[in-house]
Structure 1
Amino acid sequence: MAKLVLSMFTSLDGYIEGPNGEFAPPAWSGDIEEHWSGYALQRAGHLLYGRKNFLFNKDFWSAAETDPKSPAAGIAYAGIMNRLPKTVFSTTLRGDPGWNATLVADDVAGAIERLKTAIQGDLYLFGGAGIANTVMTFDLVDEYRLMVTPTLLGDGKRLFDDGRPRRSLELIESKQLDTGAIILRYRPNHTT
């Protein structure tokens, strides 16, 4: 059975985007490419997205297939990103979302449970915050894989909404990167 890995980066003060909704990526390096992206793509069998993050990633990565001068075309794993099957959770998108994706408008928990039993590799949830908090509320996350970046955004959208059920987690790995970011891996501790 596949596991669902919530894989997102966050500022040290807990924000996944800046005060005006702007994308706040980590400083990039070969170390991050190997231990963050490379690690995930070696294990991923299916990618999960909310609408906003899906559209952002679709626009970025799909350009590699048609525009050799696009930023994505120069990234070694662009083909993997475009090839992997995806599910986008949205109540506003309609029709075929493209980019090798299937649209799910309701029954998030049921769709994820079906994917867990049907796919090879793991389910990687890359965001955004809305779908992340939904799967956390349903207790569907098998592993939290967070990159904490050495930035303080001061405001914006937090990864963890208030009001979620309390969960106890067990640290299974921490890895410091050459940029000062740290990857933390946790799994739910259902014994407490």
Structure 2
Amino acid sequence: MTESGRKLILSYYVSIDGKSVGPTNGMRGVMESIDDEAQEDEYVRQLWEAGAFLMGRASYDAMKGFWPVAEHPSAAPMNAIPKVVFSRTLDSVEEWGASSIASGDLAEEIARLKAEPGKDLFAIAGDSFQRALIAAGVVDEYRLWVLPAAAGTGTALFPEQDGPLRLR
């Protein structure tokens, strides 16, 4: 935990060359083809550790119709755990379980959520949202899931990293 209470964990799939996973760079097929039950079990176990999933509007829009009807092992925690959608344009997020909107300053909203009691917060989707979290300096821990393929194209999670990250 951080001094302010809960910590913010950024959980992110990347290719071995550090690019984001998405439908436009061919990595979606690689991600879906992983047949490592132990890795999948670990990912689902970690999802259950979350007190809330944080995401931007675009990710919420993409996932709200998928997870409620999905039969994937990740569906249970994705549907059961509250979601906080960061958006200045949405009026409601009623379509997907216990979801709420955070529309204020990103760093202030994250500080407020960290100060609340409960399990840690997981940022789970969206290149621009996750890069905004990194730029704001609010990420306490990175959990990178490295896929066994080079994307070649895609968004780098740390495009302007000027120093080493501390590994644990």
Same fold (TM over 0.5): yes
Partner of 1:44: 50
Partner of 2:84: 87
Flag the structure with higher strand content. 1
Partner of 2:75: 78
Partners of 1:7 and 1:145 within 8 A in 2? yes
Amino acid aligned to 1:32: Q
2:41 aligns with one of 34, 39, 44? 34
Q: CA deviation at 1:22?
A: 6.4
Go from structure 1 to structure 2 and tell me whether the alpha carbon gap of 1:21 and 1:105 turns closer, same or farther (over 3 Å shift).
Answer: farther
Partners of 1:44 and 1:121 within 8 A in 2? yes
| Partner Cα separation in structure 2 for residue 23 and residue 89 of structure 1 | 26
Partners of 1:18 and 1:153 within 8 A in 2? no
Q: CA deviation at 1:160?
A: 2.4
| Partner Cα separation in structure 1 for residue 134 and residue 27 of structure 2 | 22
Greater mean alpha carbon deviation, residues 138-147 or residues 78-87: 78-87
| Partner Cα separation in structure 1 for residue 92 and residue 26 of structure 2 | 27
Aligned residue pairs total 159
Partner of 2:19: 15
Partner of 1:126: 124
Report percent identity of matched pairs.
33
Partners of 2:8 and 2:123 within 8 A in 1? yes
Greater mean alpha carbon deviation, residues 32-41 or residues 130-139: 32-41
SS in 2 for 1:155: coil
| Partner Cα separation in structure 1 for residue 86 and residue 35 of structure 2 | 28
Amino acid aligned to 1:31: A
| Partner Cα separation in structure 2 for residue 21 and residue 79 of structure 1 | 28
| Partner Cα separation in structure 1 for residue 68 and residue 9 of structure 2 | 23
Partner of 2:147: 149
Partner of 1:58: 64
Q: Does structure 1 residue 169 correspond to structure 2 residue 165?
A: yes
SS in 1 for 2:17: coil
In structure 2, the gaps of 5 or more residues are none
Highest relative contact order (Cα 8 Å, sep 6+), 1 or 2?
Answer: 2
| Partner Cα separation in structure 2 for residue 22 and residue 151 of structure 1 | 10
Amino acid aligned to 2:159: D
In structure 1, the gaps of 5 or more residues are 64-71, 173-192
TM-score, normalising length: structure 2: 0.82
Partner of 1:66: none
Partner of 1:101: 99
TM-score, normalising length: structure 1: 0.73
Amino acid aligned to 1:40: L
Go from structure 1 to structure 2 and tell me whether the alpha carbon gap of 1:116 and 1:55 turns closer, same or farther (over 3 Å shift).
Answer: same
| Partner Cα separation in structure 2 for residue 111 and residue 23 of structure 1 | 32
